Structure 1
């Protein structure tokens, strides 16, 4: 499966945000990459460029490829509600994102790897599809033989799993419950979804 494996700090600098999590390289060089990154003589970005940049930021943040993102947008456009908000809700409902939000993995890419390597269960069944759309009431757990994995225990030790109001975590059984689809105000990502809608509307 194709995925981005290039330098993440460079992407974070491009968007001016640490979209992949804490990043010392980004903190040291908080300006765009390239020869003229720290120069004020950069051309003003066009309206299309601003919209495209916002779409790319959303793609990199959630680790979604172009075709996947386009399909999700089409699904959001067909759904009831505000298209941009529905798009972010669909992204948040992805299994790899839910694993990340629960605190089982430190990053979305690490969460995706856990799912792909069959360390995760959904409603008691092993699932290796990171893009699976989780529904209200679903129970997401860790396979019994995987509960002692260092990456999982280290991530959970940071006690980050109580931050999402639409998720419920049981530390005893190492399982979480997806309570409901989050509202836009509950999604912490700094993404201007209306710009993405305007881009696809051209």
Structure 2
């Protein structure tokens, strides 16, 4: 399964956001990586650089690679509605992202691992494809024999109330339902999707 496996703290520092989850390195060094640290003088970024950086941030946040992202963008642009918002909705509907949003896993990478190791079911069937696109009404659950996993129980125990209106959670059965695509204002990530649309429009 293709995914980013490089240094995560370095990437988080580049964007100055904890895009892979809580990061002590980012808290200690809230400035871009590099041997010159905070003293490094950086010129004004070009419009293209700003747009490209925003695209990279989204790819790292959701854990997707270039070809998949480009295909998803074209799918979003072909769908009725605002392209940038459609793109984020499709990313939110990924199975690994939903497992993370439900609180079954503490991070998206951990959610991807649970899915890949066949610990997650969709509508009662085991699905091990992290990019599986959920549809309204789909039920995501922890596989019966996987409910005792320490990683799952620890994550669920640390879970707070359901923060996402497009998801329904049953703590006793460890199941969640994908109710619908979220609206843009419900997605908490700090993303300027219009910059990505401008980038692909060139």
Alignment of 1:163-202 (within 5 A): 163-202=163-202
Q: TM-score, normalised by structure 1?
A: 0.98
Deviation at 1:3, TM superposition (A): 1.5
User: Residues 60-99 of structure 1, C-alpha deviation per residue, up to 9 Å, x if partnerless?
Assistant: 0000000000000000010000000000000000000000
Q: Which range moved further: 48-57 or 17-26?
A: 17-26
Gaps of 5+ in 1: none
Deviation at 1:4, TM superposition (A): 1.1
Report whether the alignment pairs 1:130 with 2:164: no
Report whether the alignment pairs 1:139 with 2:147: no
Is 1:103–1:161's contact at 8 Å kept on the other side of the alignment? no
Counterpart in 1 of 2:29? Answer: 29
| Distance in 1 separating the partners of 2:142 and 2:3 | 24
Counterpart in 2 of 1:91? Answer: 91
Deviation at 1:36, TM superposition (A): 2.7
Alignment of 1:50-69 (within 5 A): 50-69=50-69
| Distance in 2 separating the partners of 1:73 and 1:86 | 8
Alignment of 1:64-83 (within 5 A): 64-83=64-83
Paired residue secondary structure (2:73): helix
Q: TM-score, normalised by structure 2?
A: 0.98
Counterpart in 2 of 1:117? Answer: 117
Please identify runs of 4+ aligned residues in structure 1 that moved more than 3 A. Answer: none
Deviation at 1:134, TM superposition (A): 0.5
Cα 1:196–1:86 change in 2 (3 A) is same
Is 1:36–1:42's contact at 8 Å kept on the other side of the alignment? no
Counterpart in 2 of 1:150? Answer: 150
Deviation at 1:117, TM superposition (A): 0.5
Counterpart in 1 of 2:14? Answer: 14
Is 1:14–1:32's contact at 8 Å kept on the other side of the alignment? yes
Is 1:161–1:169's contact at 8 Å kept on the other side of the alignment? no
